[in-house]
Amino acid sequence: MSELIPVQTSTQDKYNIHTGLQLMPELEKFVEQFPSRSAIVMVDAFVLEHHRHYFEPALSSHFKRLHVFEVPRGEKAKSFEVYKQAVDFVLEKGVERSTPLIAIGGGVTGDLSGFVAATVLRGLPLIHVPTTLLAMVDSSIGGKTGINHQVGKNLVGSFYQPRAVFADGTFLSTLSRKEWVNGLSEVLKYGMIRHPEMLDDIALLLESNRFTEAEAWLPLIRKSAQTKTDIVAEDVLESGKRAFLNFGHTYAHVIEREGGYQRYSHGEAVFAGMIAAVEASNALGASINPTNLLKFKPLYELSLDEITSSPAELTEIMRKDKKVKDNQIRLILLEKMGTPYIHEVNDTELVEQSWQNMLNVFR
């Protein structure tokens, strides 16, 4: 049996995030509630190849017709082109508004499939089955769906809540170390902004040499999912507190951009970004020990040598970010561990110095 995390959304819909191992029997039972005897499954190509035997029986006992759309691996799948292919596929199968769409994969599959579910026939019932650590602790929660545009990432999309999330650690058996590390940054973030004790739990997991074991991660996956759920519930449509989830991310977006969205993974960039945010917090009077984060640095094997822009240039890029309103940089900083606040920057020197200090750490 799984542990359930209930989620309340602004639209009065309620759903559960099921967390645990071997959850396919539970998924099998869950889908029996749908009157439709056909379903769309949008699944990451790697997951389809390696886990089809695991998830398919759970779905095919109730759904007599399973229409499987293979989502190409990688960020490029969050494109208009693949979105169109998926919409064509779904409509050509003759779906009705009651036909569920089950998204099985990482954040890319979840974001793309969620957007397809949100838009086809003005909304198909959506079930998320996240299969990466990042998707389990972050992207499958909160209802953000979407694809990328040439102007920037995630610029076309909608808020669309699923009927359920099944975060089944069994899928994680095939996850590469790189992808574990990618998800780790978001877990560290929850520790930094709300539950500092999580950092000790992660350190213990590392000491016990169980870093890539799903079972050892379950308590942290649950705590992370609960933390994101709590923060989102306080601000479903992202007008205030939800911004706390962007801790480290304002810096990270610039780092990802500097690396052409290829050189540095999102998780690496967020890790470096959180270190810069700690530097800026301390410059404004907090006294956070940087070692809280720096002790995890060896996991990342990250060098920022290739970033040649100066701290002043990086700060300027931050200010011009598409998501920045009125050219005003807003940073999520910490008063102390676990207590974030929004800081409107009027002293760019502070930001430049935080870039410099962080770059020194990774050179």
Ligand X SMILES: NC(=O)c1ccc[n+]([C@@H]2O[C@H](COP(=O)([O-])OP(=O)(O)OC[C@H]3O[C@@H](n4cnc5c(N)ncnc54)[C@H](O)[C@@H]3O)[C@@H](O)[C@H]2O)c1
Catalytic positions: 122, 144, 186, 228, 238, 242, 246, 249, 253, 266
226 scored as a contact of ligand X (CB under 6 A): no
Binding to ligand X by residue 113, rule CB under 6 A?
Answer: no
Binding flag, residue 56, ligand X (CB under 6 A)? no
- CB closest to ligand X, residue no: 107
Q: Report how many residues bind ligand X under the rule CB under 6 A.
A: 29
Helix (H) or strand (E) holding 336: strand 330-336
What CA–CA distances, in Å, run from 260 to 139, 152, 253, 272, 307?
22, 12, 11, 16, 11
Q: Which CB sits closer to ligand X, 100 or 169?
A: 169
Least Å distance, CB 49 to ligand X, is 9
Are 337 and 192 in contact, with CB atoms under 8 Å apart? yes
Smallest distance, ligand X to C-beta of residue 216, A: 16
| Rounded Cα gap, residues 18 and 72, in angstroms | 26
Q: Which stretch in 73-81, 191-199, 318-326, 328-336 sits in contact with ligand X by CB under 6 A?
A: 73-81
CB of 264 to ligand X, least distance (A): 13
Would you give the DSSP letter of residue 70? Answer: E
Q: Is residue 150 classed as helix, strand or coil in its secondary structure?
A: coil
Taking CB atoms within 8 Å and a gap of at least 24, the contacts of 194-202 are: 194/227, 194/230, 194/231, 194/244, 194/338, 194/340, 195/223, 195/227, 195/338, 196/292, 196/337, 196/338, 198/223, 198/224, 199/292, 199/293, 202/296
Calpha distance 95→264 (Å, rounded) = 39
Q: Give the other-Cβ count within 10 Å of 290's Cβ.
A: 16
Report the residue from 3, 26, 28, 75 that binds ligand X according to the rule CB under 6 A: 75
**Helix (H), strand (E) at residue 105:** strand 101-105
Residue 246 binds ligand X, judged by CB under 6 A: no
Q: Is 52 in the site for ligand X (CB under 6 A)?
A: no
Q: Which of residues 146-175 bind ligand X (CB under 6 A)?
A: 153-154, 171-172, 174-175
Euclidean distance between the first and the last CA atom of the chain, given in angstroms as a whole number: 47
Only one residue has tokens 């900083």, namely: 333
Q: Is residue 279 within the footprint of ligand X (CB under 6 A)?
A: no
Q: Is 180 an interacting residue with respect to ligand X (CB under 6 A)?
A: no
Shortest Cβ 109–ligand X spacing (Å): 6
Candidates 67-75, 207-215, 298-306, 310-318: pick the segment binding ligand X (CB under 6 A).
67-75
Tell me the torsion sign for CA atoms 134, 135, 136, 137: positive
Phi/psi at 340 (nearest 5 deg)?
A: -90, 160
Chain position carrying tokens 């959506």: 126
Part in contact with ligand X (CB under 6 A); list of ranges 27-35, 99-107, 299-307, 311-319? 99-107
Is 123 an interacting residue with respect to ligand X (CB under 6 A)? no
Rule CB under 6 A: choose which of 27, 43, 59, 108 binds ligand X: 108
Query: At its nearest, how many Å lie between ligand X and the CB of residue 349?
Result: 31
Q: Is 250 in the site for ligand X (CB under 6 A)?
A: no
Is residue 34 within a helix (H) or strand (E), and if so which, with residue range? none
Q: Which of 36, 113, 139, 229 lies at the binding interface for ligand X (CB under 6 A)? A: 139
Of residues 103 and 205, the one with the C-beta less far from ligand X: 103
Does 138 help bind ligand X (rule: CB under 6 A)?
yes
Q: C-alpha distances in angstroms, 172 versus 199, 231, 265, 358?
A: 21, 25, 19, 31
Q: Which is nearer to ligand X, 115 or 296 (CB)?
A: 115
The contact set with ligand X (CB under 6 A) reads 44, 46-47, 73-75, 78, 105-109, 111, 131-132, 134-135, 138-139, 142, 144, 153-154, 171-172, 174-175, 179, 182
